[in-house]
Structure 1
């Protein structure tokens, strides 16, 4: 009994340190949530509120009271706080690695390295004079290399957890600038860790041997996780998640390797990040880890970690005149080197000035690896040096964070763009949202994802959302990696049931086969309001197009049968209110459009072009699909007989290698816009042999129907057409007289009817209805 007491309570401890540490964590959590509630209406993000909560609970305010100080700050309390910090950073760095967008990293590694290196190079230069100054002031005689590395880290480091949370809470993580800031800060911090670790490893043979051991252990765990993940997924093939005991094995391995690294004198944050980054994504194990970790990390672990960082700050340490001067100098050097270096790098990369300033301020956030260097080992330098650098790190973030939050909450740099495919460069990233209500709709939606991701130079960011009816008035949006009210399986039976498992299995199979990572989520709402949630999700995710399933499905005998009549109403509402373009997909199962990836046969696609913004959007979508090697595209342009359409591609064929960017004036007629768009398509794709263009001369709706019947005699697995928006078009006159489904438009409704005897799938696209003045340029 006595031994246990001595283990838990050392001499000099008035209270059990486990109790005081737990109580401190609780106080930080409660205070941070209170500050977050108060500051959120002012646009201030969580990390600022959590740092402020730590400052309030710490020696700056509450812990100045003698009774509180005696309870919180004891002889052995620092060791327990360091242990809590170790667990927190291990979990959140692993979680960050799991959620990292690897394709984005690969595409933008050059940009990120230049932006991160701009500030780091200047910090490395300014760290030299600052080292000389601080050596003179504090009479540092030993460990000068380590002291220089400390100064370099404080000046150059960017706290990636702080940046990631600030951007995520302002819903900027799907914007180009937000993602660039997130991954640049991550690249910057990991670079600082690697540089410091490499220099430290060569200081002695023991350190070098420890570094080799750490690399070996980290590589072993990464390889072991690959096989464990696949093994656990196979064991739970009939379940949506793997078991808790299997997750415990993964976490035990992660904790073990982290402890080994910390024991050898190196930080474990790079190891935890790499283990998460290289964890197999196409498995139930990864989904389960995200499901269990993300909510806990964002709600409990990061607030405690940021709060403890603020707890270390004591404002009384800054009141000394010398300390004030040094603090101001270091903060100015840190902010100045980071801002100047980042602005110079952004100027070289031709990033706009407004975005460059936001990026520079975001990368100036502190409070992760720099605090690790400051606090370990604890007896390397005097208490004055420790307090000085802690004050610099905390004050730097508390000063910069409110300013950054104001800039992030502006809509100028983070607006939803692009909202149409017509203005999207074919080689730019395509963000799309595919909706399903039941498992049988998944195959059609992933086939579209497969077709649109056929070119490596044209990246795609697909999201698949499962729409589930909630009979009550209650509404909630649930992510697969989030929990509901603390109960991780509270929505299993009532919201989605077995459909969740079937949809997850189908998506896992698709991801495993194609290596296309599809982000999966679920929306639970009443059918009266679910369209609003879909539109909000599309806006938050900044997608360019939403794909909706048709309210009918094909039976085994080939007839179309209503799936749910409510789907039709939801489609109408989404088409009306969507913040981007919308496509309705009529899937005809095994006789229709199939997944091009891995298919032995080529998928023949036909696009009907009558003119107008919707048909241009359909043609723009076709351009993304024709990049797939297993897709053969034919565009049929319907032209009114005896019309004076200028076929300029005949004269411009000699200029087919030129890239055309057409400026469309507001005074231009719809026909001129159509002609220019088709001319560009011809010069860039048809003349290059990548697609075919066929003209159909008709004079009225009857001849149009006859021409369509003739076209459909060929075997096309998918037909694409615009919904309408053609104004007065004599070519489709009379087609709407027997219209059953106005959401498909006159031509789409005709193609979806059983009278056409068409067995292929149909995609009807409506371009985003907004002011054309927003689009001065159309990219071919």
Structure 2
């Protein structure tokens, strides 16, 4: 009886499940300790987590006999492998969900060239040194297989590690960060594909035809699951119309389908990483399904799965096995070759692509991070070719040390060159009209939503000019300390917002439904956010988010709204306060929108949400930086096939001879020719000249000049065209003393709109069109937190 009780106690203490749970808990605690210690030095989370694993592993605390017996049980191996497979399934699926597909498609050549540059150079170096290493360890099996394994291990880039480090370094929205993620994914998928091919041609009992049929069967199976998964997502979106997220039971159904697919593929003898990634990539990008999965999986993966994964990578390294100078020398040589190959190959590719040297250096170090695929390769190869434990230890140590060296160097370079990689606003006027436009649109409720999404739709008129729109729902949080509850759809918030969330829940559900419907109809993905704060501090959320996403322009709604009878009604004074502070502290250009829609529903507005009918938009140009910014914004809209843009320039009568000669074209289009006398402002003239040659001469945009003597004549001209346009775009000011606006500021009510914008938005000024007033960025970040 005593022996039985002792046996039960021993089995309880050394139960593999208990061991695994304790090990995970220790890794999480230790990694948090190292993270807090290394964060002041600018080191990202994965480095701290790998170090925690090394300290807990056989190279550190597990050298103590009791801990070694507890942590390293032979019976626990299967549990660890099962946990690794489940973790791999989840984060590969999440990477597919978070993937910026439009960006990768636009930059596939860049990403592919950079990935190939570093990979090819590393493969050459590995092929040259592999025979020497093979003979050093007297390895068994094929030398050719050994060479291939080393080539793949040194050339590979661990995309999960790259994604996590870039996120920690706040480079996820920068060009270099997104390019690094894209290149890492291309490299990772290529290595996985090559690994599958090698396993396909691996000698075995099955014939090649049988293996080919198995692969075809797996492909057909994955295609069927993708179709089923997409249908399920569409059905769940329709089923939960009055909810922000899916129910937990519905999420479990999707995850059950995911894990079932993965287990079936693994049982079939194939690797499930690529199929899980494909399932995530192919999931519909709009609706509650992807929003819920990103929210729930994102928090779980980034806070639990990845730290455990990184920690366990370091936990497996055993430096005590490197007892000979030969092993240490091999590790040093392989690390040097890996780093040298990535640096030389990546820099060569960046030089060929004419990318800046600073970006090339950061890309070279980031793409040298190692991870799961490398561990999988050496694990499979060791089991297949019966390599000795010393070979496995050397290769595993190389992977860990390589990441521990490269990660801090990359973080150091980024922190040192923070100004180069940080957010630097470039005015729309200075941007290429076909470059990517990142924008932040803010709404206080459903009332503001319609016109905002319509503007987003109007800005997406050209395939050559991609847009990345973000929509932030601003919710008042009065009489309480400020609480930052910002939710980023693709960046995974740390707070769990339920459908019963107290603040802004009713509007939030309607906003989600309207945005999902818009995305489904237009194919434009709008990334949603939420900020709950007092009006006194709400501008900080807006400005900080604009800087975080590297926005080129912020769209904010005017504090007044139009009633059913057409009159403008004042909203909350706090909204106006927020607008004033955003205009003052914004790190980029700001557009203040006066919506003259017919009501507060998402369907009613002065612009048709689907842009099924032609809309007439006018850009008013008086001169100055704000007006040039307004014209740059207008040219983005003017290329839309359903929008007729007209640029109306106001000139003083005395500038008649120095203006633009107008001639009628035989096709009834108006052609313009700038006279040799030049315009009143050389900068305005140069910008208008370029705009004219690119858009007016091609018939995309109309051009009209209005000659006036003073502000009264300007107001009369504006009133005459009040019913002709559904939207007026005008600069706030910054044009100095202009005779064409003289006297107009005498009745100014809302200075934040500028002289012309205030007149157009005035209730006494009877026009039907909405008004968009644009202020070009002219402030530094140092003023961001100053009190007004």
TM-score, normalising length from structure 1?
0.92
Report the Cα offset of residue 399 of structure 1. Answer: 0.5
Deviations 1:617-649 (A, max 9, x none): 000000100111011000110111112774478
CA distance 1:589–1:145, shift in 2 (3 Å): farther
Spell out the pairing of 1:659-674 with structure 2 (5 A cutoff): 671-674=681-684
Asked whether 1:605 is paired with 2:617, we answer yes
SS in 1 for 2:74: coil
The match for 2:125 is 126
2:324 alignment partner, one of 320, 325, 332: 320
The match for 1:527 is 535
1:616 alignment partner, one of 619, 628, 634: 628
CA distance 1:594–1:294, shift in 2 (3 Å): farther
CA–CA distance in structure 2, aligned partners of residues 119 and 70 of structure 1: 42
Asked whether 1:269 is paired with 2:273, we answer yes
2:397 alignment partner, one of 391, 395, 399: 391
Report the Cα offset of residue 131 of structure 1. Answer: 2.7
CA–CA distance in structure 1, aligned partners of residues 699 and 757 of structure 2: 28
2:510 alignment partner, one of 496, 502, 510: 502
The match for 1:24 is 23
The match for 1:99 is 98
SS in 1 for 2:496: coil
Spell out the pairing of 1:361-760 with structure 2 (5 A cutoff): 361-376=365-380, 379-380=383-384, 381-409=387-415, 410-471=417-478, 472-479=480-487, 481=489, 488-489=496-497, 492-590=500-598, 598-643=610-655, 646-647=658-659, 671-713=681-723, 715-760=724-769
Of the structure 1 ranges 597-606 and 15-24, higher mean CA displacement relative to structure 2 is found in: 597-606
The match for 1:90 is 89
Deviations 1:519-550 (A, max 9, x none): 00111111111101110110011000000011
CA–CA distance in structure 2, aligned partners of residues 93 and 499 of structure 1: 34
Of the structure 1 ranges 624-633 and 414-423, higher mean CA displacement relative to structure 2 is found in: 414-423
Task: State whether residues 649 and 679 of structure 1, in contact with CA within 8 Å, keep that contact through their aligned partners in structure 2.
Answer: no
CA–CA distance in structure 1, aligned partners of residues 497 and 419 of structure 2: 40
Report the Cα offset of residue 406 of structure 1. Answer: 1.2
Task: State whether residues 640 and 698 of structure 1, in contact with CA within 8 Å, keep that contact through their aligned partners in structure 2.
Answer: yes
CA distance 1:485–1:677, shift in 2 (3 Å): closer
Report the Cα offset of residue 650 of structure 1. Answer: 7.5
SS in 1 for 2:564: coil
Task: State whether residues 488 and 527 of structure 2, in contact with CA within 8 Å, keep that contact through their aligned partners in structure 1.
Answer: no
The match for 2:237 is 233
Task: State whether residues 594 and 603 of structure 1, in contact with CA within 8 Å, keep that contact through their aligned partners in structure 2.
Answer: no
The match for 1:188 is 187
Q: How many residues align?
A: 749
Task: State whether residues 451 and 595 of structure 1, in contact with CA within 8 Å, keep that contact through their aligned partners in structure 2.
Answer: no
CA distance 1:85–1:353, shift in 2 (3 Å): same
The match for 1:201 is 200
CA distance 1:207–1:30, shift in 2 (3 Å): farther
TM-score, normalising length from structure 2?
0.91
Structure 1: tracts of 5 or more residues without a match = 654-667, 772-780
CA distance 1:707–1:482, shift in 2 (3 Å): closer
Task: State whether residues 593 and 718 of structure 1, in contact with CA within 8 Å, keep that contact through their aligned partners in structure 2.
Answer: no
Task: State whether residues 214 and 260 of structure 1, in contact with CA within 8 Å, keep that contact through their aligned partners in structure 2.
Answer: no
CA–CA distance in structure 1, aligned partners of residues 642 and 491 of structure 2: 40
Of the structure 1 ranges 260-269 and 689-698, higher mean CA displacement relative to structure 2 is found in: 260-269
Task: State whether residues 609 and 616 of structure 1, in contact with CA within 8 Å, keep that contact through their aligned partners in structure 2.
Answer: yes
CA–CA distance in structure 1, aligned partners of residues 71 and 765 of structure 2: 78
SS in 2 for 1:478: coil
Report the Cα offset of residue 134 of structure 1. Answer: 2.6
The match for 1:178 is 177
Report the Cα offset of residue 135 of structure 1. Answer: 2.4
The match for 2:304 is 300
SS in 2 for 1:619: helix
CA–CA distance in structure 2, aligned partners of residues 736 and 420 of structure 1: 27
Report the Cα offset of residue 9 of structure 1. Answer: 10
The match for 2:785 is none
Task: State whether residues 607 and 726 of structure 2, in contact with CA within 8 Å, keep that contact through their aligned partners in structure 1.
Answer: no
Report the Cα offset of residue 58 of structure 1. Answer: 0.8
Of the structure 1 ranges 429-438 and 272-281, higher mean CA displacement relative to structure 2 is found in: 272-281
The match for 2:668 is none
Task: State whether residues 115 and 184 of structure 1, in contact with CA within 8 Å, keep that contact through their aligned partners in structure 2.
Answer: yes
Structure 2: tracts of 5 or more residues without a match = 666-677, 781-788
CA–CA distance in structure 2, aligned partners of residues 566 and 14 of structure 1: 61
The match for 1:78 is 77
Task: State whether residues 12 and 74 of structure 1, in contact with CA within 8 Å, keep that contact through their aligned partners in structure 2.
Answer: no
CA–CA distance in structure 2, aligned partners of residues 644 and 138 of structure 1: 88
CA–CA distance in structure 2, aligned partners of residues 568 and 14 of structure 1: 64
Deviations 1:206-260 (A, max 9, x none): 5434433332222222111110001111111111111111111111111112122
- When the two chains are superposed, the root-mean-square deviation of aligned CA atoms in Å is 2.4
The match for 1:658 is none
Task: State whether residues 433 and 465 of structure 2, in contact with CA within 8 Å, keep that contact through their aligned partners in structure 1.
Answer: yes
CA–CA distance in structure 2, aligned partners of residues 384 and 635 of structure 1: 74
CA distance 1:165–1:186, shift in 2 (3 Å): same
Report the Cα offset of residue 21 of structure 1. Answer: 0.2
CA–CA distance in structure 2, aligned partners of residues 525 and 154 of structure 1: 49
The match for 1:288 is 292
Deviations 1:605-625 (A, max 9, x none): 001100011000000000100
Report the Cα offset of residue 517 of structure 1. Answer: 0.3
Deviations 1:550-600 (A, max 9, x none): 111111111111222211110000000000000011111249965567433
1:346 alignment partner, one of 346, 350, 353: 350
Report the Cα offset of residue 480 of structure 1. Answer: 5.5
CA distance 1:11–1:570, shift in 2 (3 Å): closer
SS in 1 for 2:647: strand
CA–CA distance in structure 2, aligned partners of residues 510 and 176 of structure 1: 27
CA–CA distance in structure 2, aligned partners of residues 685 and 551 of structure 1: 34
